[in-house]
A and B are shown apart, each in its own frame.
Chain A
Amino acid sequence: MNASRAITIAGFALIGIALIGLHLAGRRPGSRIPSLSDLCAFTMRDRWGRVGVLFLWWWLGWHFLARS
């Protein structure tokens, strides 16, 4: 594996770790950072927000499971 590829993979891993860290930070009582659940629920209060989040979920499944 060349160094550039390793750096790329490390970048994706860091972003993933940051997302998990943010979600956990958001679950602490009194945190100003919203958890992923709160962010999702807030976005989905509106019908079009709900449709948008569901389409994003659908596209992710199609992209990674049917196309990759």
Chain B
Amino acid sequence: MSQQSVPLSEVPEPADPPADPPPDAEPPADMSADDRRASVRGLALAWAAATVYSVIAGRFAPLSAPGEFAVLIAGAAMMAWALGFRLPFPPPRRRPAPLRIDGRGALVWLVIVLVFTVWEFYALAFGGDSHPTLSALAGPLLAPYTHRAIGYLLWLASGVWIARR
């Protein structure tokens, strides 16, 4: 069988990989109106519960047993949800992960993380008041009750963001 040459313009282009769908904050389009309402209600309930938790947990002093339990219990619940354990509510709708990432591009992230690590460890080893660690700087910022409550809410929000990856 002889090979025929095909003009370049007629060579079909490889299909583009499917584009990532938008972040999954919105319910899928194929949901029924009832499902959509239930989803919005569930979301509102979850955020109301997170706000109540933050308002209560923000009252707990650092280095206290209630403070430790507040983080441990919320963290365990988030881990169970994110890892797909059987719970009374559905697991997170996850955004599709990229099949590959550019190694050189990822290296830039690694460099910044290494710079941070060196800066932090230098502070930890030789610090004191003149070269404080990030934790030492964050302590006074998180000391007021409202700041700590907002910190708890942001921590939970970041947990949900991670669970959906």
Q: Write the residues of chain A forming the contact surface with B, with a CB cutoff of 8 angstroms.
A: 2, 4-5, 8-9, 11-12, 15, 18-19, 22, 26, 31-34, 37-42, 44-45, 50-51, 53-55, 57-58, 60-68
In the bound assembly, the distance between CA atoms of A51 and B84 in angstroms comes to: 11
Interface range, B side:
35 or more
Number of A-B contacts (CB under 8 A): 132
Convert B130-141 into 0s and 1s, putting 1 for each residue whose CB lies closer than 8 angstroms to a CB of A: 111011011100
In the bound assembly, the distance between CA atoms of A50 and B80 in angstroms comes to: 12
Dominant secondary structure of chain A at its interface with chain B: helix
Knowing A34-B102, A54-B83 touch, does A8 contact B62 (C-beta < 8 A)? no
Extra A-B contacts (5), CB below 8 Å, given A39-B101, A53-B165: A12-B119, A57-B159, A64-B142, A65-B62, A65-B151
Knowing A41-B95, A54-B78, A54-B162 touch, does A66 contact B62 (C-beta < 8 A)? yes
